[in-house]
Structure 1
Amino acid sequence: MDQVGFGIVGCGGIGPLHADALAEVEEARLVAACDIVPERAQKVAEKHDCRWYDSYERLLGDDQVEVVNICTPSGMHADMGIQAAKAGKHVLSEKPLDVRLDKADALIEACHQSRVKLACIFQNRFNAGARKIKRAIEEGRFGDLVLGVADCIWYRAQSYYDSGEWRGTWALDRGCLCNQGVHFIDQLCWFMGDVEQVSCADTPTLKRNIESEDLGIALLRFENGARGVIQATTLAYPGVSGRVVVCGTTGSAAIDGGNLLTFKVEGEEEAPVASAQQSGPTTASDPLANLPTGHAAQMIDMIEAIRDDREPTVNGREARRAIHVLDLIYRAAGRPA
């Protein structure tokens, strides 16, 4: 079967990890890398034996590129995704779909109108521990869900924000909730369901010289009546953990990245789960300490969605959930939408 051709735009941060993940997927071929800084695109191209461009329009004009991986700053995701959709390309966006809900909605609509697939990277949904929790919830083994907690207690020095003019800006990045915490917000909503209301929120900028929040706290009410808590910061030296906890009347679970910490169901014996273990630096302290496994799984899912003409697992509507929650949090905290 022919390989599906991918093109990556944005090679300064997460883009090279996308290229490494694609190299693990037999059904995929990296056709081209693109960056406005030519040296970045050239570096990826040399490593993966592909073409490179310093013009996004040239990447979109490459007939062998079927899927565009958008790895640019978050506030550019929707605009670039819309361009790709109008060029007839499928879109695989890094998280989040955008920093603004209205722009994310415009991207979803553009992909629908152009009849192309849209997916967003939320690789934590693909690990074994997360799937075990989701399956138990769907089977009703946790009973009525009553509480969900998402913690992202990480560390980013000022030098991290100074490494790119867009980092920490309101227009292109936002803060610890939207950049780092969004992974755990997505997973929380995947487990608990849609959020109906943010009762209160606080999103101050305490220590970092940035426009956006370096700490965020919110209290939620889900549509199913359960309550929720979200806590995020990039001030916790040296970086502690990212954790999601789900509590029900007959079962509860907690997961930290790919590691299932707790899984207990009333009347059942505890069973081990094949969770991904990571030694050395983690994303709690190093933004690029990622394992490509989850990214590769999402790229395989995109290929299968194209070939089977189905929706990707984390499609636009699914990815929108986290942005909706962020929008509610920022509004409750008095931040502009």
Structure 2
Amino acid sequence: MQGKIKFVIIGSGNIANTYVSAIQNIANAEIVAAVSKRLKAPTKQPNLPAFASLNEVTTDFDAVIICTPPGLHHETAIEAAKLGKHIFCEKPLDVTIAAMDNMINICKENQVLLGVAYQRRYSSDNPVVKALIENNTLGRIFSVDLSVKNYRDDSYYNAAPYRGTKAIDGGGPFVQQASHYIDLYYWYFGKPFKIVSKLGTFVHDIEVEDHGVAICTHDNGMISTITASTATKPGFPAKMEIYTSKGYLILENDVITHWDMEGLENPTTQSQDGNTHTGAATATVEDTTNHEFLINDFVDAILTGKAPIISGESAKNASEIILEIYNSSF
């Protein structure tokens, strides 16, 4: 396959506009149509032909980008796979084990690629920390505190009827706002063997949590906490504190802001300039650099036949941790 990869974007909401902006910066990719039940194209590319379903699309295309609510991801993925189209899916992969397994299996059966947008893995200092952990440079890691304390006002949840629901949104801030960082946690440390959690709804009139804490225990003895919230005004930078036998480091918005490791210099080359999207108080994403990185990789995977850098199987792990946090609380 040569030339531009042609995408159909599924959904027309806020995150769809992020992908429109990203693909406008990618030479060998373009969006050729939109699918929306409202027959509406994303506002940043309003002249796209819009269709009510993927089966109705008359424009030739190679792949889809799924930007629908999480609990609906599997529906479009199955439809696209049966058409022989590759699939790039917004996080999380889906909200149930059965749906995720179905997505992964049907993509394999139809020999199409499934990539997932967990772009935080490759943001700022996050890959640097990954390499330090893999090389055992930091010593024994015995404690991690992950905090994703966002704030969303009522207008966020009132903007769409599915928000704050279990069936379609999948839950509250653990599966929504904290999903990227729980994926990062998995990428660094693997899956815990035991999770104990406590969730509550304190500020919003929704059927799922708006604040909660999980305690995770790993096979190597590491004990960690994960806090996720949309109730903590005014919203705070996502923070991961890592404590080891050599000292500690703190990541804030993917940048090492504190470092005290015996015999090791701080490896960061980053600075927080105030323009980094934190997600703390808004869902809007202006900087599409990391999305462009993953889409470029996905386009290359289509053209060369290699696997996407973040596959469906890899992305499923974050959802499994989140589901265990929910199951533990219930």
Query: SS of the residue aligned with 1:151?
Result: strand
What amino acid is aligned across from residue 55 of structure 2 in structure 1? E
Q: CA deviation at 1:227?
A: 1.6
Alpha-carbon distance in structure 2 between the residues aligned to 1:97 and 1:302: 16
1:193 matched to 2:194? The reply is: no
**Counterpart position of 2:140:** 144
Output the TM-score relative to the length of structure 1.
0.91
2-structure distance, mates of 1:302, 1:278: 29
Q: Which runs of 5+ in 1 are unaligned?
A: none
Q: Is the 8 A contact 1:258 1:276 kept in 2?
A: no
Q: Secondary structure at the match of 2:317?
A: helix
Give the corresponding residue for 1:228. Answer: 224
C-alpha separation in 2, matches of 1:262 and 1:140: 19
Q: 1:290 to 1:101 in 2, by over 3 A?
A: farther
Q: Kindly provide the amino acid, as one letter, of the partner of residue 132 in structure 1.
A: V
**What CA distance in whole angstroms lies between the structure 2 residues aligned with 1:35 and 1:212?**
26
Aligned length: 328
Give 1:175's aligned residue.
Answer: 172
SS at match of 2:200: coil
Identity %: 28
TM-score normalised according to structure 2 size: 0.93
Matched, 1:291 2:287: yes
The letter of the residue matching 1:86 is K
Q: Any conservation in 1 of the 2:148–2:178 contact (CA below 8 Å)?
A: yes
Task: Supply the distance in 1 between the matched residues of 2:62 and 2:273 (Cα, whole angstroms).
Answer: 33
Partners of 2:93 and 2:272 lie apart in 1 by 26
Q: How far apart, in 1, do the equivalents of 2:274 and 2:36 lie? A: 30
Do 1:141 and 1:251's aligned partners in 2 also have CA atoms closer than 8 Å? no
Please list every run of 5 or more consecutive structure 2 residues that lacks an aligned counterpart in the other structure. Answer: none
**Structure 1 residue 241: Cα displacement:** 1.7
Aligned to 1:96: 92
Q: What displacement does 1:42 show?
A: 6.4
Counterparts of 2:103 and 2:247 in 1: how far apart (Å)? Answer: 38
Specify the alignment match of 1:249 in structure 2: 245
Matches within 5 A, 1:1-337: 2-38=3-39, 40-41=40-41, 43-46=43-46, 50-59=48-57, 62-63=59-60, 65-173=61-169, 174-198=171-195, 200-250=196-246, 252-274=248-270, 277-279=273-275, 282-334=278-330
Measured on the aligned residues, the alpha-carbon RMSD in Å equals 1.9
Q: 1:141 to 1:251 in 2, by over 3 A?
A: farther
Deviation of the 1:264 alpha carbon: 4.3
Worse overlay, 18-27 or 245-254:
245-254
* SS at structure 2 position matched to 1:41: coil
